[in-house]
Structure 1
Amino acid sequence: MQSRTSLKSWQTLVTHAKEMKQKHMSDLFSENPARFEQFSIKLKPFMLDYSKNLIGKETMSNLIDLANECELEAWRDKMFAGERINRTEERAVLHVALRNQGNQSFELDGEDLNQEVQQTLMKMKAFSEKVRQGHWKGYSGKRITDVVNIGVGGSNLGPQMVTEALKQYSDNSINVHYVSNVDGTQIANVLRPLNPEKVLFIVSSKTFTTTETMTNAKTAMKWLVSSSFDQSAIGKHFVAVSSNKENATAFGIKEENIFDMWDWVGGRFSLWSAIGLPIALDLGFEPFIELLQGAYDIDQHFCEAPLEQNAPVILALLSLWNCTFLGAQSQAILPYDQSLHMLSAYLQQAEMESNGKSVNWHGEAIDYPTVPSIWGELGINGQHAFYQYLHQSNNVVPADFIGSIESVTPVKGHHQTLMANFFAQTQALMQGVDEKQVRDDLKAKGRTPDYINKVAPHKVHKGNRPTNTILMERISPRSLGSLIALYEHKIFTQGILLEICSFDQWGVELGKGLANNIEAELNDNKVNSHHDSSTKGLMAYYLRSKKHLNND
């Protein structure tokens, strides 16, 4: 099979990258006063400035050539048409059908998906309104005041990130909590202050077999039953989001309280589905629809905008350029808005679980770097933690800076200070400061020659560090939906360019399978001989130490 590296456009980019590595962004800005206008995209929910990348007209032209040679637009159309582009699992990839706010038809195997989606949305609406209005009662007849969402991965990160980001839009009639970690400390801390008579649990698991989720769900069930002294109370306090109705009903959840999940929706792209039920319960159903509308806006842009002006495509091409051709190994996500404090973690899963692969569509080993590791933190916090590394390390880390023009919680003077830092950091990362500038500055401040000679090399910033800037008007359900969809389509585009299966996650399965076997051994207090010496030694030490501590 032909590797991506054999494409004419790919080979052109390899040569071009060697040329661009000799350039500095400061010089590119000096040479082209119109650079910002040339390398930015203005959309209703946000503007994207990508001028602070080591690119020129030729770079972007070559990258667009690569997108065309990879038949990106044809693959995009296949996804929206419901073709089974998740080839290793033979599944369609149709999370876009979940937020279809127009007249587009989505069919799979002759079935109208729009009808299924609308039925689930209407069920979510009726349920969320019933709970929020106090008509859903617990086993003692009291209204629900708290919702605990039990899930892991996309079933947790998506809705939690959204409810945290949109906290200012909540009327606080329902308190929403999240449990994902199988470490008992988390669920114990969540349940401790709650009244079991007033708690509703949402168990989100497509298969209803996920070990972490089911362990937490069983603990929650025991906690409830120990209070109610009635097994039937489960039916009034538990609902499920799952495709496995048999397992959910066996758990004690009534069939009418099971919300559908489909195999054409991947977990990390599922917050638009009934996985987003905590969002509707927290904010109300109308804000949830606004979230879907924002995603739909970007779906339309992704399908209709030419590649040269297509924001998700540009982000994906730049990621490929910075990582695969220029050699960056990680990328930082840096929100300058407290509302987005979970965004870095959310995008970390979305991109790394999707495209952290080492074989291509045909199962052949890839001989080029793929996606970077994703990490990040809120901007100001990061400035006093790891920005030293961003500015002066030998490792160049491209970064996405995400900010808003208006704060959802305006406090006089705060937002201007925040945004001053926002703009300053991208400028500093791009421009840097050379030794002559450092020496001139120190001399102007009256420093001695000995001091200048000692300190000057330490104050040099090479600059030339690539950043994208996404500037939103204001965090709202609709703008947040657009931001999330922007990155979803970036991830899809990356996968096509890299010839990677973006919608499976086999790398998650190996450790989970081993853990199941090891757990059985730990429960039996017996270590099997087939493990390597390190694992055997650690397990044996754990069991001996646990026995010793229990005896104490």
Structure 2
Amino acid sequence: MTDAAHAALETLRALPRPSLAELFAAGDRLGAFATSLDLPDGKILFDWSKTHLDAAHVEGFLALAEARGFAERRRALFAGEVVNVTEGRAAEHTAQRGVGSEEAVELAATFHERMHMLVEAIHLGALGEVRHLIHIGIGGSALGPALAIDALTRDGAMVDVHVVSNIDGVALEAAFAACDPATTMIAVASKTFTTIETMTNAHSALAWLSENGVTDPYGRVVALTAAPDKAVEWGVDETRILPFSESVGGRYSLWSSIGFPVAIAVGWDEFAAMLEGAAAIDRHFRDTDGIANLPLRAAFADQLYSALRGCQTRAVFAYDERLALLPDYLQQLEMESNGKRVTAEGAPVDGPTSPITWGGVGTDAQHAVFQLLHQGTVIVPVDFIAAIQPGDTLDPAHHRILLSNCFAQGAALMAGQGNDDPARAYPGDRPSATILCDELGAATLGALIAFHEHRTFANAVLLGINPFDQFGVELGKAIAKQIEQGNARFDPSTEALLAAAGIS
């Protein structure tokens, strides 16, 4: 059945390819491919009309989704059944938002209440004056909190939070320089509480507190982990350990106790609003079928460009400074999830999996990389993300020009422009999608992130792969450990580099 669906899609390669202009001329593209969703803080418009999706592609991808068992895979995801087959686990990040199996939702609510109580205690001064928090994690334990805090604290924060992930000591020293040790707490975020980068940084943070007059540095630590026993062994008081479920993967963990620094920075109500915005997308994804399902629709376009048109990258440009970290977040979400070479059954995949996700911010990117997008020989599908309400209080001209540029870029990529001088000619017919938010509040941010989570899952189902493991990150880490232990030999180049750096 899957082979037949693939074969039907393959026949579309040989057929004439209508241009975007021809597709708009042929019917109501906006009615078919531009849809708004209501959220607690406004609407989000998902406009996929400037992609080359047409009725034939939709029919073909719907057949592929059926052949791949999309409905059953989606049901299993929300039911808390094993969907991470290589590790024998469920993937219950949606339960953190209140959408999932009853048991998982109840457990998440219990853990959230524990976190809520600690957040309120800190804000009320029960743990002494806390003006700064250094949040130490890596991967999903850092990227999600960093994105949310950067997006939601441009007008100020209840507690000044610094997210540190890099093992490079320069990153940690920058946080030290910005914080007063007498009023600083440390959050250590590690699912296993053994991650070498995180634990090394945590040891250095404790040493910094001790060297600067803090008599009980462990008393300043909050542990965010799925292994609370290891946190106790490490020295954290059990009252300051915020657990989360083993079934919550790292890059999907923002909604669990990994979101503690977000709640500390913006307050519990804002964190709860972020959860509710994500839950609105969960309910839409769970309850909506066919092309009306927005993450699935986006995945159809993704597969059109990667599988049928050979596009190896996808670009994301946020026309909002508050979303400057979104492309970084999506890089991990999409490439760590779907950058696989075997199916969920362990067989080699028969085509491309995840494209390379990259991007930037608004008009900055226009003066850096858009030359390639408009006139280069590489076709790159582009997502634009913007908000109607500005995030600033300056002259409205700032935001008007920002949005004008955003919409102009999508129009220009599609329309192009001829010129007798080839260097000044634009081929056009280049695809883009636009996500336009009413305003960038906490609920909208949660919805944006959840939309991309489910888009990633939908792509994985269409590809027949498991998006919830990440064994590809392990080999380099294992070799680095061998280098630290000094008990392995390597190729001549690596040996020479180690010698040049004085590492033996």
Scaled to the shorter chain, the TM-score interval is over 0.9
TM-score, normalisation: structure 1: 0.88
Q: How many residues align?
A: 499
Q: Residue 185 of structure 2: SS of its match in structure 1?
A: strand
Q: Could you tell me how far 1:105 is from its partner in structure 2?
A: 6.1
Q: Residue 277 of structure 1: SS of its match in structure 2?
A: helix
Structure 1 counterpart of 2:265, from 268, 282, 287: 282
Q: Is the 8 A contact 1:319 1:371 kept in 2?
A: no
More deviation, 496-505/44-53: 44-53
AA of the residue aligned to 1:299 = D
Q: Does residue 1:11 correspond to 2:7, yes or no? A: yes
Q: Could you tell me how far 1:277 is from its partner in structure 2?
A: 0.2
1:206-242 CA deviation, whole Å, 9 max, x = no partner? 1111010011000001111122363xx1332101011
1:8-36 CA deviation, whole Å, 9 max, x = no partner? 2211111113325x43212222333x222
Structure 2 counterpart of 1:187, from 161, 167, 172: 172
1:317 is aligned to: 300
2:190 is aligned to: 205
AA of the residue aligned to 2:494 = T
Q: Is the 8 A contact 1:234 1:253 kept in 2?
A: no
1:125 is aligned to: 116
AA of the residue aligned to 2:148 = V
1:309-329 CA deviation, whole Å, 9 max, x = no partner? 111110111101110111100
1:449-500 CA deviation, whole Å, 9 max, x = no partner? xxxxxxx111111111111111110000111111111000001111111011
Distance 1:326 1:482 in 2: 29
Q: Is the 8 A contact 2:172 2:201 kept in 1?
A: yes
1:451 is aligned to: none
Structure 2: segments with no counterpart, 5+ residues: none
1:55-74 CA deviation, whole Å, 9 max, x = no partner? 22222122222112212111
Q: Residue 376 of structure 1: SS of its match in structure 2?
A: strand
Q: Residue 502 of structure 2: SS of its match in structure 1?
A: helix
Distance 2:69 2:290 in 1: 12
Q: Is the 8 A contact 1:361 1:500 kept in 2?
A: yes
Distance 1:333 1:127 in 2: 36
2:210 is aligned to: 225
Distance 1:331 1:196 in 2: 42
Distance 2:296 2:145 in 1: 25
Matched ranges for 1:374-453 at <5 A: 374-411=357-394, 412-434=396-418, 438-439=419-420
Residue identity (%)? 36
Distance 2:332 2:142 in 1: 11
1:234-256 CA deviation, whole Å, 9 max, x = no partner? 33210101122232123221011
Q: Is the 8 A contact 2:145 2:163 kept in 1?
A: no
Distance 1:265 1:169 in 2: 31
Q: Is the 8 A contact 1:234 1:252 kept in 2?
A: no
Residues 31 and 245 (structure 1), Cα distance of their counterparts in 2 relative to 1, 3 Å cut: closer
Matched ranges for 1:350-365 at <5 A: 350-365=333-348
Q: Could you tell me how far 1:43 is from its partner in structure 2?
A: 1.1
2:314 is aligned to: 331
Q: Residue 135 of structure 2: SS of its match in structure 1?
A: strand
Distance 1:285 1:43 in 2: 25
TM-score, normalisation: structure 2: 0.96
1:284-324 CA deviation, whole Å, 9 max, x = no partner? 00111100000110111001112221111101111011101
Q: CA RMSD in A?
A: 1.6
Q: Residue 400 of structure 1: SS of its match in structure 2?
A: strand
Structure 1 counterpart of 2:289, from 300, 306, 318: 306
AA of the residue aligned to 1:151 = G
Structure 2 counterpart of 1:515, from 462, 480, 487: 480
Q: Does residue 1:536 correspond to 2:495, yes or no? A: yes
Q: Residue 187 of structure 2: SS of its match in structure 1?
A: strand
Distance 1:218 1:474 in 2: 40
1:147 is aligned to: 133
Matched ranges for 1:56-75 at <5 A: 56-75=54-73
Distance 2:410 2:242 in 1: 44
Q: Could you tell me how far 1:169 is from its partner in structure 2?
A: 5.9
1:260 is aligned to: 243
1:140-166 CA deviation, whole Å, 9 max, x = no partner? xxx010001000000000011011111
Distance 2:366 2:50 in 1: 19
Q: Residue 377 of structure 1: SS of its match in structure 2?
A: strand
Q: Does residue 1:486 correspond to 2:451, yes or no? A: yes
Q: Is the 8 A contact 2:271 2:442 kept in 1?
A: yes
2:47 is aligned to: 49
1:503 is aligned to: 468
Residues 168 and 189 (structure 1), Cα distance of their counterparts in 2 relative to 1, 3 Å cut: closer
Q: Residue 46 of structure 1: SS of its match in structure 2?
A: strand
1:380-432 CA deviation, whole Å, 9 max, x = no partner? 11100000011111110001111111112242211110111111100111111
Distance 2:203 2:82 in 1: 35
Q: Residue 120 of structure 2: SS of its match in structure 1?
A: helix
Distance 1:57 1:163 in 2: 41
Distance 2:111 2:15 in 1: 54
Structure 1: segments with no counterpart, 5+ residues: 138-142, 440-455, 522-526, 547-552
Q: Residue 147 of structure 1: SS of its match in structure 2?
A: strand
1:66-118 CA deviation, whole Å, 9 max, x = no partner? 11221211110011111111000000011010001xxx6625xxxx2233212
Q: Residue 148 of structure 1: SS of its match in structure 2?
A: strand
Q: Residue 88 of structure 1: SS of its match in structure 2?
A: coil
Q: Could you tell me how far 1:167 is from its partner in structure 2?
A: 1.4
Distance 1:298 1:98 in 2: 13
1:517-542 CA deviation, whole Å, 9 max, x = no partner? 11222xxxxx84x3111111211122
Q: Does residue 1:28 correspond to 2:11, yes or no? A: no
Q: Specify the structure having the higher radius of gyration (Cα).
A: 1
Distance 2:485 2:172 in 1: 23
1:452 is aligned to: none
